[in-house]
Amino acid sequence: MDELHAKKAKLEQYLKELGSVAVAYSSGVDSTFLLKVAQNVLGDKVIAITARSCSFPVRELNESTAFCEKEGIRQIVVESEELSIDGFRQNPKNRCYLCKHELFTKIIKLAADNGINYVVEGSNMDDNGDYRPGLTAVAELGVKSPLRYAELTKEEIRTLSKEMGLPTWQKPSFACLASRFVYGETISEEKLRMVDKAEQLLLDLGFHQVRVRIHGNIARIEILPDEFCKLIDDKVRNEVYSTLKSLGFDYVTMDLAGYRTGSMNETLSELKK
């Protein structure tokens, strides 16, 4: 057995030992892979729990529901309104901790109510290298992280997902829309909608990996560098500019560094001064 499939076997054995699990399911690459492997190992002793909130696009919720229906997995949708959490709107550095603590507390209760032993989530080894306050909440609440236990990276998860025929194997990475706000800037329903619609436009235009970061009323677009030329094509550029202006942005910019995960964390050193 090669190293990759040895890791998958380690994951399967770990899930088997847990006995029954509730998977925090977002329809992303990692949680979809984890959910399907868990179903393969545990059968109907698996449920998927998905959060519905203003920071989670409807398209992602719909994709999660479609996958669960196709695979015959029981799904529970829980309301998780982050903006009602004390301090969340102010977007502090521990924003993700506040959100994850509230959400996983609800998921843990739902799991217990449904006779499920453990709650599991889909962080992988690549998540260890960035600022991830949400993982502190995961640890405090006793939520399990099987993909990190099996030492699987994002690229390995994509490879195994492709082998398994999962539709998410090449799905772009996604994070909640609140991560588009610079730390300390107030998060509002209106600006969340602006970001969501702006990113949906870019996806509809055929861009693959996108982020629209918001700085006041400035939109900072991150796309893959090899798609820069497409964005600055006159027709596309004008459509993006005019649409984002109509959404409420005063200025529309493109980040020359291109897409990268956690770019808002680049300001953390400044916040510490």
Distance of CA 214 to the CA centre of its chain: 18
Q: What is the pLDDT of residues 51-81, one digit of tens each?
A: 999 899 999 999 999 999 999 999 999 998 8
Topology of domain 3-163 in CATH is Rossmann fold (3.40.50)
Q: Are 189 and 83 in contact (CB under 8 A)?
A: yes
Q: What is the pLDDT of residues 77-88, one digit of tens each?
A: 999 888 889 999
What φ, ψ does residue 214 adopt, rounded to 5°?
A: -115, 125
Nearest to 265 by CA among 226, 219, 213: 213
57: helix, strand or coil: coil
What is the average pLDDT across 29-43?
98
| CATH number listed for the domain at residues 177-271 | 3.30.70.2210
pLDDT at 271 over 80: no
254: helix, strand or coil: strand
pLDDT at 47 over 70: yes
Domain ranges of the chain: 3-163, 177-271
Q: What is the pLDDT of residues 78-137, one digit of tens each?
A: 998 888 899 999 999 999 999 999 999 999 999 999 999 999 999 999 888 666 788 899
Q: Which amino acid is at 224?
A: L
Helices (H), 72-113: 95-113
pTM: 0.91
| Fold match flag (3-163 vs 177-271) | no
